[in-house]
Amino acid sequence: ETEVEIHDFDFPFEGPFGSYDTMQLQRGLKIYTEVCAACHGLERVAFRTLHDETGPALPEDQMRAYAANFEVFDKALADGEGDYRAATPADYYPASSLSNAPDLSLMAKSRAGFHGPYGTGISQFVNGMGGAEYIASLMDGYEEEPACAAEMETPMEGAYNVAFANGGFPDACKDEHGHHTVPGSWIAMPQPLYGDDVEFDDGHEATLESESQDVAAFLMWAAEPKMTARKQAGLTGVIFLSLLSVLLYLTNKRIWAPHK
Ligand code: HEM
Protein backbone atom coordinates (compact mmCIF):
# COMPACT_ATOMS: atom_id res chain seq x y z
CA GLU A 1 0.00 0.00 0.00
CA THR A 2 1.19 3.49 -0.89
CA GLU A 3 1.70 5.99 1.90
CA VAL A 4 0.81 9.55 0.89
CA GLU A 5 1.32 12.91 2.56
CA ILE A 6 -1.93 14.89 2.71
CA HIS A 7 -2.04 18.13 4.72
CA ASP A 8 -5.16 19.17 6.60
CA PHE A 9 -5.70 22.73 5.36
CA ASP A 10 -8.30 25.02 6.96
CA PHE A 11 -10.67 25.83 4.11
CA PRO A 12 -13.35 28.48 4.73
CA PHE A 13 -16.06 26.14 3.40
CA GLU A 14 -15.47 23.49 6.08
CA GLY A 15 -17.76 22.77 9.02
CA PRO A 16 -21.51 23.24 9.42
CA PHE A 17 -21.28 27.04 9.10
CA GLY A 18 -18.65 27.08 6.34
CA SER A 19 -19.15 28.86 3.02
CA TYR A 20 -17.00 29.59 0.00
CA ASP A 21 -14.80 32.66 0.12
CA THR A 22 -15.67 34.65 -3.04
CA MET A 23 -12.22 36.20 -3.33
CA GLN A 24 -10.51 32.81 -2.94
CA LEU A 25 -12.73 31.33 -5.67
CA GLN A 26 -11.85 34.23 -7.98
CA ARG A 27 -8.14 33.62 -7.35
CA GLY A 28 -8.60 29.90 -7.98
CA LEU A 29 -10.50 30.65 -11.18
CA LYS A 30 -7.60 32.75 -12.39
CA ILE A 31 -5.08 29.98 -11.60
CA TYR A 32 -7.24 27.37 -13.34
CA THR A 33 -7.62 29.62 -16.39
CA GLU A 34 -3.98 30.63 -16.73
CA VAL A 35 -2.31 27.35 -15.72
CA CYS A 36 -4.50 24.23 -15.50
CA ALA A 37 -6.76 24.94 -18.52
CA ALA A 38 -3.78 24.41 -20.82
CA CYS A 39 -4.27 20.66 -20.25
CA HIS A 40 -7.43 20.09 -18.16
CA GLY A 41 -11.08 20.60 -19.16
CA LEU A 42 -14.00 21.56 -16.94
CA GLU A 43 -16.76 20.08 -19.08
CA ARG A 44 -19.55 20.09 -16.50
CA VAL A 45 -19.21 23.73 -15.47
CA ALA A 46 -21.31 26.32 -17.34
CA PHE A 47 -19.84 29.82 -17.69
CA ARG A 48 -23.06 31.39 -16.34
CA THR A 49 -22.41 29.77 -12.93
CA LEU A 50 -19.31 31.97 -12.49
CA HIS A 51 -21.85 34.73 -11.79
CA ASP A 52 -23.48 32.79 -8.91
CA GLU A 53 -23.59 34.67 -5.63
CA THR A 54 -22.32 31.71 -3.59
CA GLY A 55 -19.63 30.97 -6.20
CA PRO A 56 -16.95 33.22 -7.73
CA ALA A 57 -19.67 35.90 -8.17
CA LEU A 58 -18.12 37.55 -11.21
CA PRO A 59 -20.16 40.62 -12.25
CA GLU A 60 -22.34 39.72 -15.24
CA ASP A 61 -20.36 41.73 -17.81
CA GLN A 62 -17.10 40.17 -16.61
CA MET A 63 -18.60 36.69 -16.77
CA ARG A 64 -19.78 37.30 -20.37
CA ALA A 65 -16.41 38.69 -21.42
CA TYR A 66 -14.66 35.73 -19.74
CA ALA A 67 -16.86 33.20 -21.61
CA ALA A 68 -16.15 34.93 -24.93
CA ASN A 69 -12.44 34.06 -24.51
CA PHE A 70 -13.29 30.39 -25.06
CA GLU A 71 -14.21 28.77 -28.37
CA VAL A 72 -16.90 26.12 -28.60
CA PHE A 73 -17.92 23.97 -31.57
CA ASP A 74 -21.53 24.73 -32.59
CA LYS A 75 -23.15 22.01 -34.71
CA ALA A 76 -25.91 24.36 -35.85
CA LEU A 77 -23.55 26.76 -37.59
CA ALA A 78 -22.50 26.72 -41.26
CA ASP A 79 -25.71 25.10 -42.53
CA GLY A 80 -25.42 22.14 -40.18
CA GLU A 81 -21.75 21.45 -40.88
CA GLY A 82 -20.80 23.06 -37.60
CA ASP A 83 -18.21 25.71 -36.86
CA TYR A 84 -16.38 27.30 -33.95
CA ARG A 85 -17.74 30.40 -32.23
CA ALA A 86 -17.05 32.39 -29.07
CA ALA A 87 -18.67 30.81 -25.99
CA THR A 88 -21.72 32.44 -24.38
CA PRO A 89 -22.81 32.19 -20.70
CA ALA A 90 -25.01 29.19 -21.58
CA ASP A 91 -22.04 27.16 -22.82
CA TYR A 92 -19.82 24.84 -20.81
CA TYR A 93 -16.04 24.84 -20.51
CA PRO A 94 -14.24 22.77 -23.13
CA ALA A 95 -13.00 19.23 -22.48
CA SER A 96 -9.37 18.48 -21.62
CA SER A 97 -7.05 19.39 -24.46
CA LEU A 98 -4.46 16.86 -23.31
CA SER A 99 -5.89 13.37 -23.73
CA ASN A 100 -4.35 11.87 -20.56
CA ALA A 101 -5.23 14.85 -18.35
CA PRO A 102 -8.55 14.07 -16.59
CA ASP A 103 -11.46 16.52 -16.59
CA LEU A 104 -11.43 18.48 -13.33
CA SER A 105 -15.19 19.21 -12.95
CA LEU A 106 -15.80 16.52 -10.34
CA MET A 107 -12.22 15.85 -9.26
CA ALA A 108 -12.66 17.37 -5.78
CA LYS A 109 -15.50 14.91 -5.10
CA SER A 110 -13.92 11.87 -6.72
CA ARG A 111 -10.74 11.91 -4.66
CA ALA A 112 -10.40 11.61 -0.89
CA GLY A 113 -7.68 13.14 1.24
CA PHE A 114 -8.46 11.23 4.41
CA HIS A 115 -8.77 7.51 4.90
CA GLY A 116 -9.02 5.02 7.71
CA PRO A 117 -8.05 4.29 10.37
CA TYR A 118 -8.16 0.64 9.25
CA GLY A 119 -10.95 1.22 6.76
CA THR A 120 -13.42 2.55 9.37
CA GLY A 121 -13.82 5.98 7.73
CA ILE A 122 -13.69 7.70 11.14
CA SER A 123 -11.14 10.19 9.82
CA GLN A 124 -13.53 11.24 7.04
CA PHE A 125 -16.38 11.52 9.53
CA VAL A 126 -14.31 13.96 11.60
CA ASN A 127 -12.32 15.78 8.92
CA GLY A 128 -14.54 15.51 5.84
CA MET A 129 -13.67 13.61 2.67
CA GLY A 130 -10.69 15.84 2.01
CA GLY A 131 -11.00 16.16 -1.77
CA ALA A 132 -9.80 19.77 -1.67
CA GLU A 133 -7.01 18.83 0.76
CA TYR A 134 -5.91 16.14 -1.68
CA ILE A 135 -5.74 18.56 -4.63
CA ALA A 136 -3.89 21.21 -2.61
CA SER A 137 -1.44 18.58 -1.31
CA LEU A 138 -0.91 17.25 -4.84
CA MET A 139 0.00 20.75 -6.09
CA ASP A 140 2.35 21.11 -3.16
CA GLY A 141 3.63 17.51 -3.23
CA TYR A 142 6.38 17.59 -5.86
CA GLU A 143 9.74 16.73 -4.39
CA GLU A 144 13.16 15.77 -5.57
CA GLU A 145 13.42 12.09 -6.51
CA PRO A 146 14.40 9.95 -3.52
CA ALA A 147 17.91 8.48 -3.60
CA CYS A 148 16.61 4.94 -4.23
CA ALA A 149 15.13 6.05 -7.59
CA ALA A 150 17.81 8.54 -8.57
CA GLU A 151 20.35 5.71 -8.73
CA MET A 152 18.38 3.67 -11.27
CA GLU A 153 19.75 3.06 -14.78
CA THR A 154 16.52 3.88 -16.63
CA PRO A 155 14.98 6.87 -14.86
CA MET A 156 11.29 6.79 -13.86
CA GLU A 157 8.80 8.40 -16.20
CA GLY A 158 6.95 11.36 -14.78
CA ALA A 159 7.56 13.42 -11.66
CA TYR A 160 7.88 12.27 -8.06
CA ASN A 161 4.94 13.44 -5.94
CA VAL A 162 4.44 12.51 -2.27
CA ALA A 163 0.63 13.00 -2.41
CA PHE A 164 -0.02 10.85 -5.49
CA ALA A 165 -0.89 7.19 -4.83
CA ASN A 166 -1.68 5.66 -8.20
CA GLY A 167 1.37 6.30 -10.33
CA GLY A 168 4.40 4.25 -11.27
CA PHE A 169 6.69 3.03 -8.50
CA PRO A 170 10.17 1.51 -8.92
CA ASP A 171 11.21 -1.79 -7.38
CA ALA A 172 14.36 0.00 -6.27
CA CYS A 173 12.26 1.83 -3.64
CA LYS A 174 10.64 -1.32 -2.17
CA ASP A 175 12.03 -3.38 0.69
CA GLU A 176 12.35 -7.19 0.65
CA HIS A 177 8.63 -7.57 1.57
CA GLY A 178 7.53 -5.31 -1.29
CA HIS A 179 6.67 -2.41 1.05
CA HIS A 180 7.29 1.08 -0.29
CA THR A 181 10.18 2.79 1.45
CA VAL A 182 9.20 6.30 0.27
CA PRO A 183 5.75 7.99 0.17
CA GLY A 184 3.80 8.82 -3.00
CA SER A 185 4.55 7.74 -6.56
CA TRP A 186 5.43 9.07 -10.04
CA ILE A 187 2.78 11.19 -11.78
CA ALA A 188 2.41 12.03 -15.49
CA MET A 189 1.58 15.67 -14.68
CA PRO A 190 4.63 17.95 -14.62
CA GLN A 191 4.65 20.29 -11.60
CA PRO A 192 2.07 22.95 -12.58
CA LEU A 193 2.57 25.51 -9.77
CA TYR A 194 5.77 26.94 -8.29
CA GLY A 195 4.54 30.16 -6.67
CA ASP A 196 4.10 33.51 -8.43
CA ASP A 197 2.52 31.77 -11.42
CA VAL A 198 -0.24 34.36 -11.60
CA GLU A 199 -0.59 37.96 -10.48
CA PHE A 200 -3.71 38.98 -8.57
CA ASP A 201 -5.35 42.36 -9.16
CA ASP A 202 -5.64 43.00 -5.43
CA GLY A 203 -2.00 42.12 -4.83
CA HIS A 204 -2.86 38.97 -2.85
CA GLU A 205 0.14 36.70 -2.23
CA ALA A 206 0.77 33.93 -4.73
CA THR A 207 3.02 31.54 -2.83
CA LEU A 208 2.93 27.87 -3.82
CA GLU A 209 1.00 27.07 -0.66
CA SER A 210 -1.66 29.79 -1.12
CA GLU A 211 -2.05 29.09 -4.85
CA SER A 212 -2.50 25.38 -4.12
CA GLN A 213 -5.31 26.11 -1.67
CA ASP A 214 -6.96 28.68 -3.93
CA VAL A 215 -7.13 26.39 -6.96
CA ALA A 216 -8.30 23.50 -4.74
CA ALA A 217 -11.08 25.70 -3.32
CA PHE A 218 -12.15 26.68 -6.84
CA LEU A 219 -12.28 23.02 -7.90
CA MET A 220 -14.29 22.18 -4.75
CA TRP A 221 -16.83 24.81 -5.80
CA ALA A 222 -16.84 23.46 -9.38
CA ALA A 223 -17.65 19.98 -8.05
CA GLU A 224 -20.18 21.12 -5.46
CA PRO A 225 -21.57 24.57 -6.40
CA LYS A 226 -24.61 24.23 -4.11
CA MET A 227 -22.67 23.39 -0.93
CA THR A 228 -23.61 26.64 0.81
CA ALA A 229 -27.33 26.12 0.13
CA ARG A 230 -27.08 22.50 1.28
CA LYS A 231 -25.45 23.48 4.57
CA GLN A 232 -28.01 26.24 5.20
CA ALA A 233 -30.90 23.85 4.56
CA GLY A 234 -29.32 21.29 6.89
CA LEU A 235 -28.86 23.84 9.64
CA THR A 236 -32.46 25.07 9.29
CA GLY A 237 -33.56 21.46 9.58
CA VAL A 238 -31.58 20.87 12.75
CA ILE A 239 -32.89 24.05 14.38
CA PHE A 240 -36.47 23.15 13.41
CA LEU A 241 -36.16 19.62 14.76
CA SER A 242 -34.62 20.85 18.03
CA LEU A 243 -37.54 23.21 18.57
CA LEU A 244 -40.01 20.47 17.71
CA SER A 245 -38.35 18.14 20.23
CA VAL A 246 -38.77 20.69 23.01
CA LEU A 247 -42.42 21.26 22.15
CA LEU A 248 -43.15 17.53 21.96
CA TYR A 249 -41.43 16.96 25.29
CA LEU A 250 -43.59 19.62 26.94
CA THR A 251 -46.73 18.31 25.25
CA ASN A 252 -45.96 14.81 26.41
CA LYS A 253 -45.52 15.99 30.02
CA ARG A 254 -48.81 17.82 29.95
CA ILE A 255 -50.77 14.90 28.46
CA TRP A 256 -49.55 12.48 31.09
CA ALA A 257 -49.54 14.90 34.05
CA PRO A 258 -53.04 13.89 35.39
CA HIS A 259 -52.07 10.21 35.48
CA LYS A 260 -48.96 10.55 37.60
C1 HEM B 1 -3.75 14.87 -13.31
C2 HEM B 1 -4.87 19.08 -11.13
C3 HEM B 1 -2.22 21.48 -14.40
C4 HEM B 1 -1.49 17.35 -16.85
C5 HEM B 1 -4.27 15.81 -12.44
C6 HEM B 1 -5.10 15.50 -11.28
C7 HEM B 1 -5.40 16.69 -10.68
C8 HEM B 1 -4.78 17.74 -11.43
C9 HEM B 1 -6.23 16.88 -9.40
C10 HEM B 1 -5.58 14.11 -10.88
C11 HEM B 1 -4.62 13.38 -10.01
C12 HEM B 1 -5.24 12.05 -9.61
O13 HEM B 1 -5.53 11.23 -10.50
O14 HEM B 1 -5.45 11.82 -8.41
C15 HEM B 1 -4.24 20.09 -11.83
C16 HEM B 1 -4.30 21.49 -11.46
C17 HEM B 1 -3.52 22.17 -12.36
C18 HEM B 1 -3.02 21.20 -13.32
C19 HEM B 1 -5.08 22.04 -10.26
C20 HEM B 1 -3.19 23.64 -12.40
C21 HEM B 1 -2.77 24.25 -11.26
C22 HEM B 1 -1.80 20.58 -15.37
C23 HEM B 1 -1.06 20.92 -16.54
C24 HEM B 1 -0.85 19.74 -17.23
C25 HEM B 1 -1.48 18.68 -16.48
C26 HEM B 1 -0.62 22.33 -16.93
C27 HEM B 1 -0.13 19.51 -18.56
C28 HEM B 1 1.09 20.05 -18.75
C29 HEM B 1 -2.02 16.32 -16.09
C30 HEM B 1 -1.90 14.90 -16.43
C31 HEM B 1 -2.54 14.19 -15.39
C32 HEM B 1 -3.04 15.18 -14.46
C33 HEM B 1 -1.22 14.31 -17.66
C34 HEM B 1 -2.65 12.66 -15.24
C35 HEM B 1 -1.54 12.23 -14.27
C36 HEM B 1 -1.44 10.73 -14.03
O37 HEM B 1 -2.48 10.05 -13.95
O38 HEM B 1 -0.28 10.24 -13.87
N39 HEM B 1 -4.10 17.17 -12.50
N40 HEM B 1 -3.47 19.95 -12.96
N41 HEM B 1 -2.04 19.22 -15.35
N42 HEM B 1 -2.70 16.44 -14.90
FE43 HEM B 1 -3.05 18.17 -13.94
- pLDDT tens-digit series, residues 32-89: 999 999 999 999 999 999 999 999 999 999 999 999 999 999 999 999 999 999 999 9
Which pLDDT value is given to residue 127?
A: 84
pLDDT for the residue 2: 82
- pLDDT exceeds 90 at position 1: no
Q: For residue 4, give the 3-state DSSP assignment.
A: coil
For helices 22-34 and 208-223, give the axis angle rounded to 10 degrees. Answer: 100
pLDDT for 242: 98
ipTM surpassing 0.85: yes
Q: Which atom of ligand 1 is nearest to the CA of 190?
A: 28
Q: What's the pLDDT tens digit per position in 92-143? A: 999 999 999 999 999 999 999 998 888 888 988 888 899 999 999 999 999 9
State pTM to two decimals.
0.93
Residue nearest to atom 35 of ligand 1 (CA): 188
Residue 80, CB-side half-sphere exposure with 13 Å CA sphere:
0
The pLDDT-based confidence of 223 (bands split at 50, 70, 90) is: very high
pLDDT recorded at residue 243: 98
CA–centroid distance, residue 245 to ligand 1 (Å): 49
pLDDT of residue 151 exceeding 90: no
Query: Residue 70, exposed/middle/buried by CB under 10 A (0-12, 13-18, 19+)?
Result: middle
**How far apart are the CA of 100 and the centre of ligand 1, in A?**
9
Whole-number pLDDT of residue 131: 96
Most confident by average pLDDT, 145-154, 212-221, 226-235: 212-221
| Residue list, ligand 1 pocket, CB within 6 Å | 31, 35-36, 38-40, 98, 100-102, 104, 107, 111, 135, 138-139, 167, 187-190, 192-193, 215
- Distance from the alpha carbon of residue 163 to the mean position of ligand 1, in angstroms: 12
In angstroms, what is the span from residue 162 Cα to ligand 1's centroid? 14
